[in-house]
Amino acid sequence: MNIFFRELRSNLKSLLIWSGIVFLFSVIGFSKFSAFYNNPELTAILDSMPPAVISALSMNAFNLTTVTGFFGIMILYFSLILAISAAMWGSDIISKEERDRTVEFSLTLPVTRNRVVNAKTAAAAVNCIILLLVMWGATVFGAQNFNPDNEFYAYVSIAMLAFLLLQMVFLALGIFLGCALKRYKLAGSAAIAVILVTYFTSILSGLNKDLDFLKYFTPFKYFDAATMLRDNRLEWPFVLLSAGIIIVLLIGAHIAYRRRDLYI
Amino acid sequence: MSIIEVNHLTKYYGKSRGIVDISFKVEEGEIFGFIGPNGAGKSTTIRLFLSLIYPTKGEAKIFGKDCIKFGPELRQEIGYLPSEVFYYEGMKVLDLLKYSASFFQKDCTKRMHELSDLMELDLKRRISDLSYGNKKKVGIVQGLLHQPKLIVLDEPTAGLDPLMQHKFFDLIREENKRGATVFFSSHILGEVQRLCNRVAIIKEGSIINIQDIKTLQKDNYKKVRVTADDLDEKRFKVKGVTDLEKENGSISFFYKGDINAITKLIGSRKISDLTIEDLTLEEIFMHYYE
């Protein structure tokens, strides 16, 4: 538990910064929304936009003049923030020991490498969950001015569950990259590269029916904002797929880290 | 049972050499010197002991157990002081030491405070505010607070002032008397000479000699300097003489062999001055690295 608590403390500053970003983003988002709220003109403008653009911004399924619809649009951006923070935390929490050359201390203590990876993964996961709770709070708080109904709360709850899975997928990815890459400097940028590629894949897959199969390759599409609004539940195949990816990445991380030379 | 037993240990980093086919043993209670210039493979060997890196070939055993397979268990009883210490910058010294102590099965609090007092460590300061030498002192306390059975030192005195070095050597001797075995890697011969019983000399990844410090100095070369008028240095070009030099009417050379042979040679002439002395470890060392 000592590694776990030390990591939590050392990550506190980063967590506060990300929480600030999330909070600010919600505040700005909802203040923009006040212009759309119950505004029929907006619907007219959106109708005149090309369908591809609408689809790329994943606006097709939502009525932007209601707070529920607006949150549906926000999901995309929240996903990005959560994915980036999770992947960065994951890769950083492992690779920083080599970057700061502290491996010569922390891994010459009587600890197994598995224990180190587990404790660090747990600490990063707790960070992710706290950030998610901040986001939840900020969303509910920001929505208060716009008469949120039960549908809104239910939608937010199911979205948070989807966010959690998304975070864990990208956290596992970050941990894996931190553990597996010999050149620790690459871990962070590799994580961001994967996020960008999967993000643009998710946009591509929405553009055309023929590209629909791409949704299996991008976690951003596993829990589609529109589908969640319609069904108010997560799709099981994608829950299992996420869990599978998380497990495979974490096992891979352990194996890679156990076998690899640590560079100083 | 040897405390450290190294068999054909080899480490390549990709294609570049770390160490090649190293074998040696360190017995219980020894202070074993490990000496060589930068890049000879000293730190590589130590990092293999601590399973920070894995061998390409061969094995190292500590307390009779493989140091990779039983790494975490063995490290309960190993104290390590790296040549450069890096700790979590944001932490206070006391928190860091407590954190380190929390990994050991025994209670280290008392020893931790004893050592901190001895090293005159300010426990309230932040790691990031410490000078190089002060970080080193934290390293010494951190490496010894669990009273390890094996102490591994990698160029430990760098950054310590002479007074602290002295204290540190006393501390190591004390730990050694208590029963700890010490593996002392360094490129400074003086300190090895002061502290160690045996020494291994490593050059370009291979061990070229393992000897008692005393035999290393005694059984080897003598340094001879002869002063006389119109000396002919050619007379001294005999078996066992190396590094012959003439300057200002005196001749100096290294000699290895029967001491009577050389005194007879010198005695056959009228000379004004003569010194014959042991080589310092420095000179022996230079000899190995020529």
Determine, for residues B52 and A111 on separate chains, whether the beta-carbon distance falls below 8 Å.
no
Starting from the edge strand earliest in sequence, which strands make up the sheet with B150-154, in order? B78-81, B150-154, B181-186, B31-35, B198-203, B206-212
Is residue B282 very low, low, confident or very high in pLDDT (cuts 50, 70, 90)? low
Determine, for residues B99 and A102 on separate chains, whether the beta-carbon distance falls below 8 Å.
no
One domain for residues B264 and B120: no
Residue A162 lies in a domain: yes
One domain for residues B47 and B114: yes
Query: At residue B201, does pLDDT exceed 90?
Result: no
Final residue belonging to a domain, choices B166, B184, B217: B217
**What pLDDT score was predicted for residue B220?**
65
Close Cβ partners of B173 (under 8 Å, ≥ 6 residues apart): B195
The ipTM, to two decimals, is 0.83
Residue A85 lies in a domain: yes
Rounded Cα distance, A230 and A224, in Å: 10
One domain for residues B162 and B38: yes
Number of structural domains found in chain B: 2
Q: Give the mutation candidate from A14, A104, A257 for the B interface (greatest B CB count, under 10 A).
A: A104
Residue A264 lies in a domain: no
Is residue B290 very low, low, confident or very high in pLDDT (cuts 50, 70, 90)? low
Name the residue of chain A whose CA is nearest to B100's CA. A109
Residue A87 lies in a domain: yes
Q: Is the dihedral of CA A126, A132, A136, A137 positive or negative?
A: positive
Final residue belonging to a domain, choices B170, B194, B217: B217
Rounded Cα distance, B36 and B23, in Å: 16
Number of structural domains found in chain A: 1
Q: Residues A127-165: pLDDT tens digits? A: 999 999 999 999 988 888 887 888 889 888 989 999 999
The angle that helices A185-207 and A67-99 make with each other, rounded to 10 degrees, is 160
Query: At residue A208, does pLDDT exceed 70?
Result: yes
Residue A13 lies in a domain: yes
Comparing C-alpha atoms, which of B53, B55, B108 is closest to residue B77?
A: B108
Number of Cβ within a 10 Å radius of residue A231:
11
One domain for residues B202 and B231: no
**What pLDDT score was predicted for residue A201?**
87
Residue A148 lies in a domain: yes
The answer to whether residues B224 and B276 touch, using CB atoms and an 8 Å cutoff, is yes
Q: Residues B1-36: pLDDT tens digits? A: 889 999 999 999 888 888 999 999 999 999 999 988
One domain for residues B89 and B227: no
Final residue belonging to a domain, choices B189, B217, B245: B217
Q: Which domain holds residue A179?
A: 2-259
Q: Any idea what the CATH number is for the domain that residue B39 is in? A: 3.40.50.300
**What pLDDT score was predicted for residue A160?**
92
- DSSP string spanning A189-201? HHHHHHHHHHHHH
Least confident of A72-76, A83-87, B186-190: B186-190
Q: Can you give the pTM of this predicted structure?
A: 0.84
Closest CB to A262: pick one of B52, B84, B103: B52
Rounded Cα distance, A201 and A211, in Å: 9
Rounded Cα distance, A46 and A73, in Å: 13
> Tokens at residue A28, please?
């700005």
One domain for residues B95 and B115: yes
Residue A51 lies in a domain: yes
**What pLDDT score was predicted for residue B184?**
93
CA A102 to chain centroid? 28
Determine, for residues B86 and A102 on separate chains, whether the beta-carbon distance falls below 8 Å.
yes
Rounded Cα distance, A252 and A254, in Å: 5
Q: Give the mutation candidate from B44, B56, B69, B75 for the A interface (greatest A CB count, under 10 A).
A: B75
| Mean pLDDT across chain B | 86
List the helix and strand counts (H, then E) for chain A: 11, 0
Comparing C-alpha atoms, which of A184, A216, A2 is closest to residue A93?
A: A184
**What pLDDT score was predicted for residue A1?**
80
Q: Residues B99-148: pLDDT tens digits? A: 999 999 888 899 999 999 988 888 999 999 998 889 999 999 999 999 99
One domain for residues B38 and B121: yes
One domain for residues B162 and B103: yes
Question: CB burial class (10 A; 0-12, 13-18, 19+) of residue A255?
Answer: middle
Q: Is B125 on the interface with A (CB under 8 A)?
A: no
Q: Which domain holds residue B107?
A: 4-217
One domain for residues B174 and B104: yes
Closest CB to B90: pick one of A10, A109, A112: A10
Residue numbers in B near A259 (CB within 8 A): 54
Closest CB to B53: pick one of A10, A112, A261: A261
Distances from the Cα of A111 to the Cα of A49, A75, A197, A249, angstroms: 59, 40, 36, 22
Q: Any idea what the CATH number is for the domain that residue B272 is in? A: 3.30.70
Query: At residue A184, does pLDDT exceed 80?
Result: no
Is residue B169 very low, low, confident or very high in pLDDT (cuts 50, 70, 90)? very high
Residue A41 lies in a domain: yes
* Cβ pairs A/B, distance under 8 A: 59
Is residue B79 very low, low, confident or very high in pLDDT (cuts 50, 70, 90)? very high
One domain for residues B213 and B238: no
Closest CB to A110: pick one of B72, B86, B90: B72
Higher pLDDT, A16 or B233: A16
Higher pLDDT, A77 or A206: A77
One domain for residues B204 and B65: yes
A183-188: which pairs have CB atoms within 8 A and are 24 or more residues apart? A184/A95, A184/A98, A184/A99, A184/A263, A185/A95, A185/A99, A187/A91, A187/A92, A187/A94, A187/A95, A188/A88, A188/A91, A188/A92, A188/A95
Q: Look at the block and give the residue holding tokens 């005694």.
A: B218
> Tokens at residue B212, please?
């008692």
User: What is the arithmetic mean of pLDDT over B54-59?
Assistant: 92
One domain for residues B90 and B234: no
